[in-house]
Amino acid sequence: MNRAWTMASRPSGEPTAENFAIVESPIPEPKHGEVLIRTLYMSLDPYMRGRMRSGPSYATPLQEGEVMTGEVVAVVEKSESPSHKVGDTVRAGIGWQEWAAIPAHIAKPVDPDLGPVSTGVGILGMPGMTAYFGLLEVLKPRAGDTLAVSAASGAVGAVVGQIGKINGCFVIGVAGSDEKCKYIVDELGFDGAINYKTQDVSAELARLSPTGVDCYFDNVGGPVSDAVFENLALKSRVAICGQISQYNAATPPQGPRNMGALIRTRTTVEGFLVYDFELQHEIARVRISNWIKDGSIKYKEDVVDGFENAPEAFIGLLAGKNFGKLLVKVSE
């Protein structure tokens, strides 16, 4: 049997276990032009909380009873298409489920020569692409710039900081524990780290970079971003990647926050989506893979074992319990 996690009910505020339900169905048979895939790793990402919310978004919201949105790394078990053979590793947006029969063109190849297959939904997948294009195409840092990044030890933030270092930036990460802060400085080579739960972010930024922040890669919004805005340099750039501090809010705060800082500093603020750069993803995948191979970039995965543990892991992600790219290992 196939198992799928569905959104049983729409959460209000923090999701709970009751918002999710497992539904079983027979493993499907692929039709002409389709492949049957078995999930190896399931990616858990903050944007999934957005899909559980009704109301305007860049994507259609989930309805109650629908399979939770998501991308997996999977292996082809049956193929009715000449483009895929049994045993190929692919990634596909089949949601939180163990098996699926899908049109072959939706099953994108995962090249095992670029890195371990789990990275196909991590540093060599959507989060890695987000970091690469958000930094290099939206923020466009110059050598010597001070780059600040929030959720800095996470799937996106850790890559942003390291590509920033490769590009000659002075990199400051903001994260939610001393362990995460130590990791980004000692292991990833960031120049400074601030624990937003125990330190005054604004004062620490001013101390670490008295000339201000030239580039801010915003993954979180809320009070952390307020503090960074107080420290923006003249003609600085802000990339709005994510606002995770707001995702569980039943009524997200409305209205401007510290926008006066942007006038004083003539800052440019730009929101972006990783798919804005989709045509260039393959180039970035190879570049990041090369950086991993030559040791300029490291990555960390937080792998939770067992399909049944996905909701608990996802709830933990929104509370900062993950340390690195969060994955669920579903099968061997």
Ligand X SMILES: NC(=O)c1ccc[n+]([C@@H]2O[C@H](COP(=O)([O-])OP(=O)(O)OC[C@H]3O[C@@H](n4cnc5c(N)ncnc54)[C@H](OP(=O)(O)O)[C@@H]3O)[C@@H](O)[C@H]2O)c1
Cα radius of gyration rounded to whole Å, the chain: 20
120 alpha carbon, distance to own chain's centre: 12
CB of 236 to ligand X, least distance (A): 19
Of 29 and 186, nearer to ligand X (C-beta) is: 186
Of 75 and 151, nearer to ligand X (C-beta) is: 151
CB of 63 to ligand X, least distance (A): 21
CA distance 184 to 209: 17
CB of 310 to ligand X, least distance (A): 15
CB of 315 to ligand X, least distance (A): 11
Q: Is 156 exposed, middle or buried (0-12, 13-18, 19+ CB in 10 A)?
A: buried
How does DSSP assign 3-23, residue by residue? EEEEE-S--SSS--GGGEEEE
Q: Coil, strand, or helix at residue 140?
A: coil
Q: Which residues bind ligand X (CB under 6 A)?
A: 45-47, 126-127, 130, 151, 153-157, 175-177, 180, 219-220, 222, 224, 241-245, 272-274, 317, 320, 322
Of 35 and 92, nearer to ligand X (C-beta) is: 92
Residue 228 CA: distances (Å) to CA of 148, 188, 205, 222, 283: 8, 21, 7, 10, 32
CB of 105 to ligand X, least distance (A): 22
Encoded tokens for 150 = 């929030």
Of 141 and 324, nearer to ligand X (C-beta) is: 324
Strands of 251-322 (E only): list them: 268-271, 301-305
CA distance 320 to 197: 11
CB of 327 to ligand X, least distance (A): 11
Of 30 and 164, nearer to ligand X (C-beta) is: 164
Of 245 and 267, nearer to ligand X (C-beta) is: 245
